[in-house]
Structure 1
Amino acid sequence: MKFNSSAFYIKIISGESWSIFTFSFLICIIFSQCTANLPIGDEDNGGLFLPEGFEALVVVDSLEGRARHLAVKDNGDIYVKLRFPDSVGGNAALRDTDNDGKADIIETFGDYLDKSSYGTAMRIHNNYLYFSSVTRIFRQKLTDKLVPDSEMELIVRDTQPPRQHDTKPIAFDKKGNLYTPFGAPSDACQVDDRVFMSPGMDPCPILEHRGGIWKFDANKKGQLQKDGEKFATGLRSVVALEWNDQADNLFTVVHGRDHMHNTWPEQFTVWEGAMLPSEVFLKLEEGSDAGWPYYYYDQMKEDYFLSPEYGGDGKKQGEKVNTLERPLVGFPGHFAPNDLLFYTGDQFPERYKNGAFMAFHGSTSRAPYPQAGYFVAFVPMENGTPSGSWEVFADGFAGVDTILNTSDAKHRPMGLAMGPDGSIYISDSVKGKIWRVMYKGDKEGFGKAQLAKMDERKKQAPNIKTPDEVKDIVATEADGFFPKEGNMAEGARLYNSHCALCHQKNGRGNDRFPPLNYSDWVIGDKEKLIDVILNGLEGEIMVRGKSYNNVMPKLDHLKNEEIALILTYIRQNFGNRSSGINPDEVAKVRKATAK
């Protein structure tokens, strides 16, 4: 590296505006003393468990609006996509002015239409800040100000309103192209989405315009989906998407489908429903097919199998199984991969160079086993190919050892970004907390000994390990996963069997599915509630001031008596104190709404 010391000192003396971070970072590069210039980590690493030699500090404890993806500018400024933006904007900008690692300036910006709960992207590319709502991708030219005052440009927009699995993470190649998914508004392309034993549509009409990745011009304004090119297909829901410059390829970690046991109990056990399908790490070439909805990947059998909607039973593989994109890694089901980062910095030990970090947001549908995920994983890689097994890099976000309900988790890792000095930043979607992870140990001596404790967490932690089919059950017989025994009321048993997978055992819901406690949908009009159970509900709704956009499957295969018991249970539990519902009331609505 050539360094003109005269020019450097002239800039300082001439009074040009240099932040403390910029000055310290330059000194770090010039004199190779990056570790010495890193801020002090928190005594408890912000609650995180990390490999030996790593430290973490909390940059900000909470952001109003909570956090999705984030990006870090070359001067250390942090930009965050907010989950529930208020009227002053959908993004947050953070600055550390005294180099202690803590944000002491926080400003919100980016007031735009279609601000929805699942707006995802926040990336910096060619000195532009790119960010998204669920149906639009915007960009602003970065300036010397913390909050850019340049024009906000609309780059890509959808022509359809937000639906389930609509997220807009983005990635950029070296040729000026932008990649983003158009999620499939279905669980498995059933005739009736998520409904008990509903068959799949064949061919699946959704795949023409959804369930894949599209490529666009990263610099062209006002593009619609028709202006892009379909790059890959068979991808139900993608939130983690990134380009790997070393391999010069697009990569993703995919959300697998839900409800394999609940909708197909004759084909899949409760344990298989919790473990399958795999969340797969894929290298995507143009024309790649990841199999959805016809196939799913089984990480235990290390192969693709036919989905039950298309005749699968956990054994049948189908004729096209060998044409599908083979996963680089098959993670256990329902980990919920929400971001992907390839490490290109020099601060961490050499084994992390060009490897993949993945933020697992955490499951909602693992009952009667502990909910899983809620950690950051690492896959060592060389030239775009894994060079070892996946590892636990950061854990402890949930704050509890065994997560029974999604709402038990204090924090859920969401976004990943690398700072200019090689630190990694991790965002949380529950309270908007952000951590900065740094390495201060011996880089040359880093190896198995420093990873031993994290390897033990992979084997033992309830939120990470593969649960024992019998020993790790955290529900009782009365919870509805087994023949009825115990003292739990029949309504509770039916609720836990048919509803708790989404709304959770405690009725508080999660990021995807609304709470039942104190909800007008539950404690209000009886006929409206019965109609939802009998005929389902789709589209964006507001519950207790928050937006939800998923599918409530119809449960019309249940008897009137069973529906009455479930609805009475939810109207008189979770803090609710409304009158019960009887079978005659259900029968009346069933007759009135019958098609």
Structure 2
Amino acid sequence: MRSFFYKQKWRLTQRYLCFGLIVMLFSGAQKQDLLPKGDPDNGGLATPEGFETLVVADSTGLARHIVVNENGDIYIKLRYFGKGQQGGTVALRDTNRDGKADIIKNFGNYPDQSSLANGITIRNGYLYFSSSLFVYRSKLIPGQLLPDSTVEVILKDDHEHGTHWHITKPMAFDDKGNMYVPFGAPSDACQDMLNLPGGKPGRSGLNPCPDLEKHGGIWKFSADKLNQTQADGSLFATGLRSILGMRWNYAEQNLYAVVHGRDNLRRLFPDIYSSWQSAVLPAEEFVKVTQGTNLGWPYYYFDQMKGKKILNPEYGGDGKKEAEGAKYQNPIIGFPGHWAPNDMLFYTGNQFPERYKNGAFIAFHGSTNRAPYPQAGYFVCFVPWVNGKFSEKWEVFADGFAGMDPIINVSDAKARPMGLAQGPDGSLYISDSKKGKIWRVMFKGNKQSFGASQLAAMEKHKLLGNIRTPDVVKDNLDKDTKLAGEKIYSTYCTPCHQSNGLGDGSRFPPLVNSEWVTEDKRKLIQAVANGLEGPIEVLGKPYNDLMPKHDFITPEEMAQLLTYVRQQFGNMPDRVSVEEVNRVLKK
């Protein structure tokens, strides 16, 4: 009798278990059915099998960072406040749940109108967003797409800024009421960029570096106090040159960042670094940031191939010297140089397979200064969270943004991934900075069977030109260059203005048909010899960056260079002579 009872009980238990499993599977299927269909071409992207991608909006403007509200509304920070974009922020809403935004509204008219913008997030019912010099917030109104028109200033950068190098203000928030904001450094290695000693650029870095007093680090502030300046905050971490992607990891209660390495190794030190070394070094760093973290800028950089901190040449380094580099913190991962990691996101949703839980997505905006080698980056990677820490191995998650391979000039790329956000249903959103395309990546496959085969297919993308390490000889685009002026241009000018002379569409202006190229030769010679600092206008568009002096170039080289520039990019038949260069330089 007792045996019969236990058998009946076990059969009943089995039925309940089976019923529960069916309910769970059906519930999962229902959730997937609620997701919109991906685009037939997967939004033009390559993602692991089982994922589908759709384009939410195609041309929102020069999009930077992005955030998604709990009701699915999307907010995008544009590059500029205004500048023909009808407001510095864009709000998007999908009213018919097809995944496509059918309401798109620009809003916002704030101080600091011309400055580069980056950060945007939602916290405690407020939309926080930033520019180069300010962190703002506006109250979100339940049920309404646009926030309250009242704009509060949380933080103002009250420094004197001669240029706009690395001073944008992305922000991260912990759960204790603190806000973390980086103040980027205005140079490669703490040089005086306009009055460099020794007649050659970058031969000496200031030691100790005065920039570290107010730049090159992360400061901690109150998340709710209004009208703060840097003096109201406290230094949290230092030795960090430039940060655009930064997040608080709530699961671990720590801050993480992706840090841009320095530039111009070949241009400033052609006797130490080859073009190939300058293209792949130094590393872009994925780092854990705690109170007192010091990554060693400006004295050291991380060489991802050696796995060590290397002394910067401005401080006596030769590309090999380690000196005291071991006392500075190494990154979790050192990515190849100039990939420009511009955002990161910790995945906390349940839509994706379990292996993505708590891992980090990183958006690489793509290089501008790898010439004479192809540009690189332009994809989204994933770093798994394994046994309570981040893996030292990374994976390609989404590729194809550039629409071409290899990428010779940054202007050739169709799109550049910029910002990352997680939707309330666990979808991943990616923004593009060129035209403002917004992608939504969803998982529609089988979570239980997802694994090695899907990941192996994406691993093949590491062999593509925008990701793999370039071959020293075969990938050198200058190996057949014969014109002396073109070679000089490739060494000193291509990193900013690109080999096609179109600039990067962002910081560095175009040379093609530019009035600076086609008009008075004296103006062109003076600009190259003496450098430029502060706001200028090129072809009707404002720029505000710094071009260092190139007075170390001999008059003969400058004449060859400017002849090439005028003929190649200005369609000017005349030459720039050595005599013309000397006349301008002697004045």
Aligned residue number for residue 470 of structure 1: 473
Per mean C-alpha deviation after superposition, the further-off stretch among 82-91 and 141-150 is: 82-91
How many angstroms apart in 2 are the aligned matches of 1:585 and 1:468? 40
Deviates more, 1:107-116 or 1:169-178: 107-116
What residue ranges of structure 1 are gaps of 5+ in the alignment?
1-27, 479-485
Which residue does 2:582 correspond to in 1?
A: 587
Structure 1 stretch 235-244 or stretch 182-191: which is displaced more?
A: 182-191
Distance 1:246 1:542 in 2: 46
Deviation at 1:384, TM superposition (A): 6.1
Asked whether the equivalents of residues 163 and 540 of structure 1 are also in contact (C-alpha less than 8 Å), the reply is no
Does residue 289 (structure 1) correspond to residue 294 (structure 2)? The answer is yes
Amino acid at match of 1:542: E
Please list the CA deviations of residues 503-558 of structure 1 after superposition, one character each: whole Å capped at 9, or x if unmatched. 11110010221110122222233222211111111223222233323221211111
Residue 8 of structure 1: aligned partner: none
- In structure 2, how many angstroms separate the alpha carbons of the residues matched to 1:29 and 1:246? 27
**1:549 and 2:524 matched:** no
Residue aligning to 1:10: none
Q: Which residue of 2 aligns with 1:129?
A: 127
Deviates more, 1:383-392 or 1:179-188: 383-392
Contact 2:302 2:330 in 1 (8 A): no
Aligned match for 1:496, one of 473, 490, 493: 490
TM-superposed CA distance for 1:435, in Å, is 0.3
Does the Cα contact within 8 Å between 2:371 and 2:490 map onto a contact in 1?
A: no
Q: Counterpart of 1:148?
A: 147
Contact 1:129 1:139 in 2 (8 A): yes
| Aligned twin of 1:209 | 214
> Can you list the C-alpha shifts for 1:407-426, whole angstroms capped at 9, x where unaligned?
11000000000000000000
Corresponding letter in the other structure for 1:470 = V
**Partner Cα separation in structure 1 for residue 117 and residue 548 of structure 2:** 24
- Residue 500 of structure 2 is aligned to residue 506 of structure 1: yes
Question: 1:106-142: CA deviations, max 9, x gaps?
Answer: 0001111113352101111111101111110100111
| CA separation of 1:284 and 1:29: change in aligned 2, threshold 3 A | farther
C-alpha contact 1:215 1:230 (8 A) present in aligned 2: yes
Q: C-alpha distance in 1, partners of 2:264/2:403?
A: 27
Tell me the CA shift for residue 273 of structure 1.
Answer: 0.7
Contact 2:485–2:557 (Cα < 8 Å) also in 1? yes
- CA contact 2:514–2:570 (8 Å) conserved in 1: no
Give the drift of 1:314: 1.8
Larger displacement relative to structure 2 (350-359 or 146-155): 146-155
1:257 corresponds in structure 2 to 262
Match of 2:48 among 48, 51, 59: 51
d(CA) in 2 for partners of 1:118, 1:578: 37
Instruction: Indicate whether 1:69 and 2:46 are aligned.
Output: no
What CA distance in whole angstroms lies between the structure 2 residues aligned with 1:29 and 1:146? 35
Q: Match for 1:250: what amino acid?
A: L
CA distance in 1, matches of 2:188, 2:401: 28
Classify the secondary structure of the residue corresponding to 1:281: strand
Q: Are residues 526 and 453 of structure 1, via their aligned partners in 2, closer, same or farther at CA, if it must alter by over 3 Å? A: same
**Taking structure 1 as reference, are residues 388 and 282 closer, same or farther at Cα in structure 2, changes over 3 Å only?**
closer
| Whole-Å separation in 2 of the counterparts to 1:235 and 1:150 | 35
Q: Look up the equivalent residue of 2:464 and give its one-letter code.
A: A
- Counterpart of 2:447? 443
Contact 1:114 1:135 in 2 (8 A): yes
Q: Secondary structure at the match of 1:86?
A: coil
- Counterpart in 2 of 1:327? 331
1:89 Cα shift?
A: 1.3
Q: Deviations along 1:386-421, whole A, 9 cap, x unmatched?
A: 235100000000000110011110000000000000
Moved over 6 A (4+): none
Report the identity percentage: 57
Q: Distance in 1 between matches of 2:62 and 2:258?
A: 23
Alignment of 1:425 with 2:429, yes or no, is yes
Offset at 1:257? Answer: 0.5
Q: Quote the Cα distance in structure 2 between the aligned partners of 1:107 and 1:49.
A: 30
* 1:406 and 2:393 aligned: no
Distance 1:545 1:29, change over 3 A: farther
1:471 Cα deviation from its structure 2 partner: 2.5
Give distance in 2, aligned partners of 1:412 and 1:548.
20
AA aligned opposite 1:252: A
Report the secondary structure of 2:572's partner residue.
Answer: coil
- Indicate whether 1:101 and 2:102 are aligned: no
Secondary structure at 1:239's aligned position in 2? strand
| Greater Cα shift, 152-161 or 341-350 | 152-161
How far off its partner does 1:322 sit?
Answer: 2.7
Gaps (5+ residues) in structure 2? 1-23
Preserved contact between residue 83 and residue 114 of structure 2 (Cα < 8 Å) = no
Spell out the pairing of 1:82-231 with structure 2 (5 A cutoff): 82-84=78-80, 85-86=82-83, 88-143=86-141, 144-160=143-159, 161=161, 163-192=164-193, 196-231=201-236
- Alignment-derived partner of residue 5 in structure 1: none
Task: Specify the SS of the correspondent of 1:235.
Answer: coil
TM-score scaled by length of structure 2: 0.91
Instruction: Let me know the Cα RMSD of the aligned residues.
Output: 1.9
In the TM superposition, residue 474 of structure 1 has moved relative to its aligned partner by 2.9
* Cα distance, 1:267 vs structure 2: 1.6
Q: Name the counterpart of 2:31.
A: 34
- 2: CA distance, partners of 1:128 / 1:461: 42
What residue in structure 2 maps to residue 6 of structure 1?
A: none
Of the three residues 353, 374, 396, the one matched with 1:392 is 396
- In 2: Cα distance, 1:347 partner to 1:249 partner: 24
Q: How far does the alpha carbon of each residue in 1:307-342 deviate from its partner, in whole angstroms, 9 at most, with x for none?
A: 0111111221122x2321221111011100000100
SS of 1:531's equivalent?
Answer: helix
Report the Cα offset of residue 237 of structure 1: 0.9
What secondary structure sits across from 2:527 in the alignment? helix
* Distance change (3 Å), C-alpha of 1:576 and 1:168: farther
State the one-letter code of the partner of 1:590: L
Q: Which residue of 2 aligns with 1:7?
A: none
User: What letter corresponds to residue 365 of structure 1 in structure 2?
Assistant: N
Task: Report the alpha carbon displacement of residue 266 of structure 1 after superposing the two structures with TM.
Answer: 2.0
Give the whole-Å Cα distance in 1 for the aligned partners of 2:47 and 2:363: 14
> In the alignment, residue 133 of structure 1 is paired with which amino acid?
S
2:246 corresponds to: 241
In structure 2, the CA distance between the partners of 1:388 and 1:203, relative to structure 1 (3 Å rule), is closer
What TM-score do the two structures reach when normalised by structure 1? 0.90
Q: State the AA in 1 paired with 2:276.
A: W
Indicate the larger mover: 106-115 or 413-422.
106-115
Deviations 1:74-132 (A, max 9, x none): 01000000113336310000000000000010000111111335210111111110111
Contact 1:246 1:384 in 2 (8 A): no
- Native 8 Å contact 2:308 2:326 kept in 1: no
- Matched length: 554
Matched residue, 2:523: 528
Letter in 2 for 1:521: W
Displacement, 1:268? 1.6
Deviation at 1:495, TM superposition (A): 1.5
Higher mean C-alpha deviation, range 54-63 or range 267-276: 267-276
**Alpha-carbon distance in 1 for matches of 2:313, 2:450:** 46
